[in-house]
């Protein structure tokens, strides 16, 4: 079916706990998401068949929409009108992260070079990377073998060496893997898939070492030369193997694969796909974050460069204790204006971990949870920045003018000043009682610089739209902009430091009716200008000489910005955000900012 003939789409995302279905229909000339359904995922006993949950979630959509989609256990295709009643859909697509998603181990000759490239390839395909093995990772050979044996990955990616370079290291890694003879996580009887994407000259030796023991698949080298990273073919192969091997082991997936019109994608892989599509379509830079109960995913698209990272043990329920462990208590408490006994707080956090479905009833509990969220996001973003870097080990030809430029190879791709759109997803951000809370949590954690638009995913449909982007990009982007994103507002944050109360920015906002607001922002101050959703205004920002809003220090910036459910937030806290060192002053400031932005109810 041609993309333009597709009018009705049903999409599901099989998560570890719930299966979410959405219906997308062409209304007039545009695609809109019209109905949604939800049902528990049925991968585990007593059902052990993922399609049961899928059918249940679709059934909910049938009831809500009045469209007959199922004939028993079959999806009716194509969409048609029968006796004035809507029947069937044109396409069915799905993503999956049930059963813990795709878990991989990657190996590369040099940790900071092919090791890192391999990690980026696996993460970009939607995997969780359990460990990165490298010839120079400082572990002794027997420790490496022991580690490989302990892990039970779904798949291994082996890379190493540039084409034409030395083959010793990568063959050595292959020998360790063969010696460890690791077993797959699912299915006791099948051979573990291993993808080789290293030096082409080593292929024969790799075959000799691995072919007998494992299911060896060969892809193009992910690092054909030091200057070049070629991740796409390996990512594609990882997703194919995920379908052909890993998913085959999960209960009911064979049936599900027969039902869908295109390959099932790992959920995070699909989210990455939609981010990329949007960034390309609108020519913008995007950072996206999806904070779940167990893991937090961060995506970034800066120009042609797409990166994804998963922080496997940072999340709001199952992994909440780990947020405390990694962030440490003072970093969590700095966002809160109330006192709490440390032992009591630790017990509260552990109780949330062991009873992950509970909800903060009191305001104090909500404040603690949102402080933990800020830290989980901050730590995940820091991990992302470490991986979203240029290639290391590249010899660069330097001209005399470069001598003074100290930036090394391996510099970060993330430039917060150039960031156009920050999108948040996951319960704690999408379902915060007030949108102001979501906005401030993201500003505090990511600390955007200059002018940045902030949005949340309304009902977590980014995965669905990611697969849809492969079938019909137009439908995917239309639904993303109109129904998926809730624009919260725009943050304007001058970068620099000054004394509290010192003026740092003059700003002029020209409202649609021609009315002009002329005001200034002081250091340590936050200002909220409500600006409705859909309203676009002209702004002129004049920072003082030691502050930068995107044009350089003291340089005027003229731009347009969009409103949202919260509006325009001017953040005068500097970058990095500076909090008063004195406890009482800090609490006072937090209260003041919360009050200005109307974060919490005031008694």
Partner 1 sequence: MAHAYTPGLRVTKETDIVKSRILPLKGKVLKKVGDLVNRNDIVAETNLPGNVSIINVVNQLGITAKEIEEFMLKKPGDPVEKGEVIAETKSYFKFLRTRVLAPSTGSIESISDVTGQVLMREPPLPVNIKAFIDGKVQSVIENEGVEVETIATYIQGIFGIGGETSGELVFLAATPQEVLDPKKINDSLAGKVVVGGSFASSEAIKAAIKHKLAGLIVGGIRDADLRDLLGYDLGVAITGHEDLGITVLLTEGFGEIAIAERTFRTLKEREGEIASISGATQIRAGVIRPEIIIPYKAGHVVQRLTHVEEELGMQVGDQIRVIRKPYFGRIGTVKSLPSGLQVVESETKVRVLEVEFADGVTAIIPRANIELIEE
Binding site for partner 1 (CB under 8 A): 16-18, 38, 41, 43-44, 46, 98-100, 141-142, 145-146, 167-168, 171-172, 175-176, 178-181, 183, 188-189, 205, 209, 294, 313, 318-319, 321-322, 324-326, 342-344, 346-363, 365-366, 433-434, 601
**Rounded Cα–Cα distance for residues 414 and 287 (Å):** 9
Query: Which residue lies nearer to partner 1 by CB, 163 or 172?
Result: 172
- d(C-alpha 392, C-alpha 394), whole Å: 6
Specify the residue, 10 or 312, whose C-beta has the smaller distance to partner 1: 312
Give the DSSP H/E element, type plus range, for residue 510. strand 503-510
In the complex, the smallest distance separating the C-beta of residue 433 from partner 1, rounded to whole angstroms, is 4
**Smallest gap, in angstroms, from Cβ of residue 366 to partner 1?**
4
Q: Which helix (H) or strand (E) holds 509?
A: strand 503-510
Q: Scanning the structure block, which residue is given the tokens 């991990």?
A: 383
State the DSSP code for 225. Answer: B
Closest CB 240 distance from partner 1, rounded Å: 24
Q: How far is the CB of 430 from partner 1 (least distance, A)?
A: 12
Closest contact distance (angstroms) between CB of 300 and partner 1 is: 25
Could you tell me how many residues make up the chain?
A: 603
Query: What single-letter DSSP state applies at residue 499?
Result: -
Q: What is each CA distance from 506 to 40, 542, 596, in whole angstroms?
A: 53, 5, 19
Whole-number Å distance between alpha carbons of 234 and 218:
9
Beta pairing partners, 21: 12, 37
- Here the tokens at position 366 are 């909500």
Which residue, 167 or 278, is less far from partner 1 as judged by CB? 167
Nearest to 163 by CA among 189, 187, 198: 198
To partner 1, the closest distance from the beta carbon of 475 in angstroms equals 26
The residue among 100 and 554 lying less far from partner 1, judged by its C-beta, is 100
Q: Read off φ and ψ for residue 52, nearest 5 degrees.
A: -60, -45
Residue closer to partner 1, measured from CB, 273 or 375: 375
Residue closer to partner 1 (CB basis): 5 or 48: 48
Shortest Cβ 11–partner 1 spacing (Å)? 19
Nearest of 379, 383, 365, 375 to residue 334 by alpha carbon:
375
Q: What is the DSSP string of 386-427?
A: HHSBPPSS------GGGGG--PPTT-BS--GGG--EEEEESH
Q: State how far the Cα of 164 lies from the Cα of 576, in Å rounded to an integer.
A: 45
Alpha-carbon separation of residue 479 from 26, 77, 389, 474, 577 (angstroms): 10, 22, 31, 9, 35
Identity of the residue, 60 or 538, whose beta carbon is nearer to partner 1 in the bound complex: 60
Residue 309 beta carbon to partner 1: minimum distance, rounded to whole angstroms: 18
CB of 177 to partner 1, least distance (A): 11
Can you tell me the distance from the alpha carbon of 256 to that of 53, in angstroms, rounded to the nearest whole number?
11
Q: At what angle do helices 342-354 and 363-387 cross, to 10 degrees?
A: 80
CA 366, distance to chain mean position in Å, is 24
Closest to partner 1 by CB, 102 or 422: 102
The least CB distance from residue 363 to partner 1, in Å, is 5
168-180 vs 203-210: helix crossing angle, rounded to 10: 10
State the minimum distance, in angstroms, from the CB of residue 482 to partner 1: 23
Contacts of 357 (CB under 8 A, 6+ apart): 317
Q: How far is the CB of 296 from partner 1 (least distance, A)?
A: 13
- Is the CB of 66 or the CB of 141 nearer to partner 1? 141
Helices 462-471 and 267-282, packing angle to 10 deg: 70
Extended strands (E) in 346-497: 421-425, 450-457, 485-493
Phi/psi at 58 (5° precision):
-70, -35
Inter-residue contact 12 to 464 (CB < 8 Å)? yes
Q: Name the minimum Å distance from CB 392 to partner 1.
A: 24
| Residue 362 vs 399, nearer CB to partner 1 | 362
Token pair listed for 275: 């981010």
Nearer to partner 1 by Cβ, of 181 and 519: the residue is: 181
Q: Which is nearer to partner 1, 41 or 477 (CB)?
A: 41
* Nearer to partner 1 among residue 84 and residue 601 (C-beta): 601
**Least CB distance from residue 590 to partner 1, whole Å?**
17
Spatial contact of 415 and 448, defined as CB atoms under 8 Å apart: no
Nearer to partner 1, 85 or 350 (CB): 350
């Amino acid at each position: 079916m041609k993309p333009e003939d597709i009018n009705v789409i049903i999409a599901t995302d099989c998560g570890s706990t719930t299966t979410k279905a959405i219906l997308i229909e062409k209304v007039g000339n545009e695609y809109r998401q019209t109905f949604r359904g939800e049902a528990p995922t049925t991968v585990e006993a007593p059902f052990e068949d993922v399609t049961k949950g899928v059918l249940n979630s679709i059934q909910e959509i049938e009831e809500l929409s009045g469209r007959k989609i199922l004939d028993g256990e079959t999806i009716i295709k194509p969409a048609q009108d029968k006796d004035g009643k809507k029947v069937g859909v044109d396409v069915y697509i799905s993503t999956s992260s049930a059963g813990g998603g795709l878990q991989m181990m990657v190996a590369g000759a040099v940790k900071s070079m092919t090791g890192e490239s391999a990690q980026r390839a696996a993460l970009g395909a939607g995997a969780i990377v359990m460990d990165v093995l490298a010839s120079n990772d400082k572990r002794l050979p027997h420790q490496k073998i022991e580690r490989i044996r302990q892990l039970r990955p779904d798949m291994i990616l082996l890379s190493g060496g540039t084409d034409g370079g030395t083959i010793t290291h990568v063959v050595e890694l292959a020998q360790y893997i063969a010696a460890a003879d690791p077993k797959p996580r699912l299915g006791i009887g099948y051979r573990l898939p291993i993808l080789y994407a290293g030096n082409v000259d080593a292929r024969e030796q790799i075959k000799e070492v691995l072919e007998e023991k494992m299911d060896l698949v060969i892809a193009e080298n992910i690092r054909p030369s030091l200057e070049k990273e070629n991740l796409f073919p390996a990512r594609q192969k990882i997703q194919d193997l995920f379908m052909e091997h890993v998913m085959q082991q999960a209960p009911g997936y064979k049936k599900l694969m027969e039902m869908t019109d295109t390959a099932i994608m790992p959920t995070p892989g699909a989210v990455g796909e939609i981010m990329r599509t949007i960034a390309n379509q609108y020519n913008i830079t995007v950072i996206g974050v999806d904070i779940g109960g167990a893991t937090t995913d961060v995506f970034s698209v800066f120009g042609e460069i797409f990166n994804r990272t998963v922080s496997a043990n940072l999340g709001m329920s199952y992994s909440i204790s780990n947020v405390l462990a990694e962030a440490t208590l003072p970093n969590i408490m700095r966002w809160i204006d109330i006192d709490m006994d440390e032992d009591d707080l630790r017990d509260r956090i552990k109780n949330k971990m062991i009873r992950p479905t509970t909800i903060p009833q009191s305001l104090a509990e909500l404040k603690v949870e949102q402080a933990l969220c800020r830290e989980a996001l901050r730590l995940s973003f820091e991990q992302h920045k470490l991986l979203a870097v240029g290639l290391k080990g590249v010899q660069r030809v330097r001209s005399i003018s470069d001598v003074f430029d100290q930036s090394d190879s391996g510099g970060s791709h993330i430039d917060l000043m150039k960031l156009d759109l920050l999108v948040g997803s996951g319960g704690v951000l999408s379902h915060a009682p007030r949108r102001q809370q979501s906005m401030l949590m993201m500003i505090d954690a990511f600390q955007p610089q200059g002018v940045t638009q902030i949005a949340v995913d309304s009902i977590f449909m980014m995965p669905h739209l990611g697969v849809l982007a492969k079938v019909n990009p137009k439908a995917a982007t239309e639904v993303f902009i109109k129904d998926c994103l809730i624009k919260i507002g725009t943050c304007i944050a001058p970068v620099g430091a000054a004394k509290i109360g010192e003026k740092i920015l003059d700003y002029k906002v020209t409202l649609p009716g021609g009315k002009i607001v002329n005001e200034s922002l002081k250091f340590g101050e936050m200002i909220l200008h409500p600006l409705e959703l859909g309203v676009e205004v002209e702004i002129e920002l004049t920072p003082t000489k030691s502050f930068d809003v995107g044009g350089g220090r003291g340089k005027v910036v003229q731009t347009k910005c969009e409103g949202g459910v919260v509006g325009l937030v001017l953040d005068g806290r500097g970058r990095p955000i500076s909090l008063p060192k004195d406890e009482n002053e800090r609490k006072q400031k937090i209260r003041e900012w919360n009050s200005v932005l109307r974060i919490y109810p005031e008694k």
